[in-house]
Structure 1
Amino acid sequence: MWILRYAVFITSLYPCFVHGSAFGPENQKPITHANGETNHGRLRPNIVFILTDDQDLHMNSLDYMPFVQKHLIDHGTFFKRHFCTTALCCPSRVTLWTGKAAHNTNVTNVTPPYGGYPKFVSQGLNKKYLPVWLQESGYNTYYTGKLFNAHSVDNYDSPYAAGWTSSDFLLDPFTYSYLNSTYQRNQDPPVSFEGRHSVDVLAEKALGLLDEAHEAGKPFFLGVAPVSPHANLWSPAFKDGNHSDLEDIDFSPPVPAERHTKLFEGVKVPRTANFNPDKPSGASWIRKLPKQSQETVDYNDHFYVQRLRTLQSVDEIVDSIISRLGYLKILDNTYIIYTTDNGYHIGQHRMQPAKQCSFEEDINIPLIVRGPNIPKGSISDIVTTHTDLAPTLLDIAGAHLRDDFDGLSIPLTEDGLSRAEETRHEHITVEHWGFASNEGQVLESYPRLHLNNTYKALRVISKTYDLHYQVWCNGDHELHDLTTDPGQMVNLLHPDEVAPKTIAGASLDKVVARLDSLLFVLKSCRAETCIHPWKALHPAGNVASLRDALFPRFDSLYEEKSRKVEFDRCEMGFILDAEGPQFTHKNLDPIFDPKWHEWT
């Protein structure tokens, strides 16, 4: 297998002749980062950002990517508690590039009117996202692959995506057609690559942009965004460049390159405790799902293997990029970040292949960072999210950090990571609006869409507790204790479950009261309040964690005076008057009784 993989990509290992130095003298100044770390006079670093589509962590996809293991995990730091905040492509990508949660970007779905590239543009974000800020800081910026959903052959030039020195975008409606992709370079017309594998086309473009970036002689950012391992999508309307309703689109397993079609025969979805369980779990529509038949399980195992096969092309891209960086003698001064937009589930909780839930399979995702001063072969337990990545990338570049970021720069040195283990926040905000899709077989018991999938959720993780709390727009509530139930099979707030008397060292009702108040702040937080929400609840600064909030002196505050998370109605996107009571960011009156200060 290895001989074949090397043979196919051998040409990628011979870069074109490049003139000149990668960096001029103006780029040799020391950089002091927001976290106090310095680059000690190193050249301004390059950044290569590899972003896959729908890649899982909890179904072990990384175990089948030997080049990612060799080049990134063994030479970098793996952040095992990294989370997306919306488990859906477009909202997650907008959050990633803006450093803002979806409720602050108002890009909450994949297509208009609530999401997609047109929504990104209408919200003014085309002038307020990462590549624009990097260019303002002296970086050249390059990108190839999928940028956003609904970025299409119809609207790619109205307006062009801002901030890119050079780009080659995948365009809808051909984004998810592995053997019929369309790319659009800079301001040229779109070009069809029918008959060629989309990720192989991307590999060539990524290496071409890397050469272009190096030859330009400035520090650079290169984004590489393959469609793998997303499902393959097709509709008769696509052949003419037209779009189609989700109900009319055929979802099928991803399509690997021909050289990978025979790999991993017999491999199956990991049979964890939450895989197609005998007992229903969760809440809302998930708890109503029937147990999958053996025929469905077999189909989903095939779907899973096809995902692993399509990821082999991505793995080869990683190897090619590392080889090219080494040849150009810039590998040691380049950060390589590997992540995905959201996770994925297949069979867990009886669900068909898809994402869009707040279970670990959908929100806990890969993040690996390799680069100068990054600990090698290290695993970090600190909590990080996609809202943290834009600040982190600007920090790497030595650029000014914006004060409206909802995230916090991730430390990337051994000392910084060690300090963060004791000081970094413990919460993750999760949110979703609209439908949940089924990307597998459409059966009577598994329809294409579940329309009621709007919710607010959070994760709280420390050395002594590991909790998931969720409020659905229909009023359902969920609470899972992952220290005793890592598969999230027991909803402690469902009447059919036997709930423990205590959780996280306190009574169940006291913990729920704190979590509900925390989620109340986070569901409409902005900037500093998203990073340090307990300060909004306790301005005196005497509470910084759930553990602190559980002191008995605060019982009356949380159980009698705090506001609860609720919705006025279920909607397909972010509509403020459907969101229920909001934290105003100006005072605490909407959260607590006016005499709140007597209880802090």
Structure 2
Amino acid sequence: MKTFQCGLLSVYIGAVLAAQPNIVLFITDDQDVTLGGMKPLVKTLKNIANEGASMMNAFTSTPICCPSRASILTGLYQKHHQVLNNSIEGGCSSRNWQLGLEKSTFAVALKKANYSTFYAGKYMNKYGQKSVGGPEHVPPGWDSWVGLVGNSRYYNYSLSINGTAKKYTTEYLTNVLSAFAEEFLDYQRPENSPFLMVLAPPAPHAPFTPEPKYVGKFKDKRVPREPHFNTANNSDKHWLVRMKPVPLPNETVELLDDYYAMRWETLLSVDDLVETVVNKLRRSELLENTYIMFTSDNGFHLGQYSMPWDKRQPYEFDVRVPFLIKGPNISKKSMSTNPILLIDIHATILQMAGVQPMSTDGRSILPIEPTGNRTFYLEYRGEGSEKYDPSCPWRDNHLSLCSSKACCKCQDSTNNTYSCVRSVIDEVEDFVFCRFEDDEAFVEAYDMIKDPYQLVNLYPGLDPAKRKHFSVLLDSWMPVED
């Protein structure tokens, strides 16, 4: 494979920039952390967590792929970047995105700072669609571009290789990304200009297809039977969670267990990818001057509150994400409870590179020092669909993802739209307050310290002063305008 010819800067410039670290960012797709989603990644934990820090309170601000990825790239909340959902109409890789904030990503900033930049894998769900420029469109800031056309899959996909589409049928995508990453690293040297590498494998996103050598590896694993699994009474949750049947029938639960095992199996190839990159950095004498971060765009649920499988909800399993970081001056085997957000990645990367910070909603997570207090927001704009499962009774385009395999329970709707404020104060308070834009103007509130499974909605009996406090915070936040 000889796709990239990455020219070297002069030795003089390389020496000037030697203090600038290399940066590697792994972004998995739909990887839970509260349900044990990091457990299969033994090599990743060894190479990143054991050599650096585990951030135990990391969150996405919007638990859905495309808006979350826009937040990672720009450092902005959804209401500011206006990527509302996974459709082109909702801003996902749209012309507005391309003509606007795509020009303000951390890649653009680092490219201006003489970084060599590389991206491989899933970008945004609608990337490469003909109506928005096709695979010929290479986002600004990337010297070497291997962008997945469309949404996550493992076989039968196309990649935009520096603007030229190439079809793959039998090659497992995670392994293809690994090969491209190794090739890019072949051209990197300690005396070269620093580099930024982003690797975005498909796992463990649906269709949950493991690499053949890992099929059945976790066949006996089951979804953790925690207190919020397959609950029989969700009367204090908003209407989408209350959809029948509750609880789920046995055959659906068995399917959830199968999906759980398959998701873990897809992550084993990600584990190989991480090890391959770390070993390549070590052999190239680049590892000591490289920051490595590992995270996911959002979490995932499998049967919690009797919801079949998806994300998009404001609950802990959908908004909490894994986050590991290693690199210069980060203590080994350390753990931090600092509340951090994916919108912080932008500012963190710029600080690592010594680049002047830009105006964003996030903040750098470095240095990793105790900063337990933070108030932040969660938001999502629900999405409908024109596609129906003929086996389901629903013919309402305000509903979406209503699958007969999931008992015709819908995973989204246009009024699955909410804004939440979360207040974290050291070990004293962790409180989340959510307002839904539905016919009921439903509100949910949870004390995450006393009720980590969010089993009891406190809003009906909430102290009036506390209710007013959080309502005022949300009113000042203001929802996204259509």
CA root-mean-square deviation: 2.5
Aligned residue in 2 for 1:136: 112
Q: 1:437 to 1:225 in 2, by over 3 A?
A: farther
8 Å contact from structure 2 (residues 310, 411) kept in 1: no
TM-score if structure 1 supplies the norm length?
0.72
Partners of 1:53 and 1:227 within 8 A in 2: yes
Alignment partner of 1:473 out of 437, 442, 445: 437
Preserved CA contact (<8 Å) 1:19 1:215? no
Aligned to 2:40, which of 30, 49, 64? 64
Q: Which residue of 2 aligns with 1:76?
A: 52
Equivalence for 1:151 = 127
1:430 aligns with 2:382: no
3-state SS in 2 of match to 1:64: coil
* Partner of residue 460 from structure 1, selected from 423, 428, 432: 423
Q: CA deviation at 1:333?
A: 0.3
Residue 384 (str. 1) matches residue 340 (str. 2): yes
Q: How far apart, in 2, do the equivalents of 1:295 and 1:24 lie? A: 64
Output the amino acid matched with 1:406.
D
Describe how 1:503-522 pairs up with structure 2 within 5 A.
508-522=463-477
- Counterpart selection for 2:481 from 566, 575, 590: 575
Matching residue of 2:413: 450
Letter paired with 1:376: K
Deviation at 1:105, TM superposition (A): 0.8
CA distance in 2, matches of 1:19, 1:286: 51
Moved more, 292-301 or 449-458: 449-458
Instruction: Note the 1:102-141 alignment, pairs <5 A.
Output: 102-119=78-95, 121=97, 124-141=100-117
Q: CA deviation at 1:519?
A: 2.0
Asked whether the 8 Å contact 2:241–2:307 carries over to 1, the reply is yes
CA distances 1:366-395 after superposition (whole Å, capped 9, x unpaired): 111100001111111111111111011000
Give 5+ residue unaligned stretches, structure 1. Answer: 1-11, 13-17, 31-41, 233-253, 500-506, 525-573, 577-600
- Tell me which amino acid in the other structure corresponds to 2:128: S
- Residue by residue over 1:262-298, the C-alpha shift from the partner in whole angstroms, topping out at 9 and shown as x without a partner, is 2012100111110111221522321334211111100
Q: Distance in 2 between matches of 1:362 and 1:113?
A: 24
- Looking at structure 2, the residues matched to 450 and 470 of structure 1 have their Cα atoms a distance apart, in angstroms, of 17
Check whether the contact 2:240–2:412 (CA below 8 A) recurs between aligned residues: no
CA-to-aligned-CA distance 1:107-131 (integer Å, 9 cap, x gap): 1111121121115535512221111
- Counterpart position of 1:47: 23
Q: Does 1:259 align with 2:235?
A: no
Alpha-carbon distance in 1 for matches of 2:96, 2:213: 37
What is the distance in 2 between the residues matched to 1:22 and 1:61?
41
Match of 1:363 in 2: 319
Paired residue total: 458
Q: Tell me if structure 1 keeps the 8 A contact 2:53–2:334.
A: yes
Name the SS of the counterpart of 2:146 in structure 1: strand
**1:69/1:218 CA distance change after superposition, 3 Å:** same
**Aligned-partner SS, 1:512:** helix
Q: Tell me by how many angstroms 1:443 deviates.
A: 4.6
- Would the alpha carbon gap of residues 92 and 317 (structure 1) be closer, same or farther in structure 2, given more than 3 Å must change? same
1:369 alignment partner, SS class: strand
Shift of 1:437: 5.5
Shift of 1:479: 0.6
Query: Which residue of the partner structure matches residue 186 of structure 1?
Result: 162
Distance 2:348 2:457 in 1: 35
Residue equivalent to 1:163: 141
Query: Which letter maps to 2:31?
Result: Q
CA 1:101–1:575: 2 relative to 1, 3 Å: same
- Give the partner amino acid of 1:200: N
Q: Whose RCO is larger (CA < 8 A, sep 6+)?
A: 2
Whole-angstrom CA distance in 1 between matches of 2:481 and 2:194: 41
Aligned equivalents of 1:119, 1:195: Cα separation in 2: 32
Q: Which has the higher strand share?
A: 2
Post-superposition offset of 1:523: 3.8
1:444–1:300 CA distance, 2 compared to 1 (3 A): closer
For residues 143 and 188 of structure 2, what CA distance do their matches in structure 1 show? Answer: 9
**Alpha-carbon separation, structure 2, partners of 1:138 and 1:114:** 33
Normalising by structure 2, we get a TM-score of 0.89
**Which of the pair has more CA radius of gyration?**
1
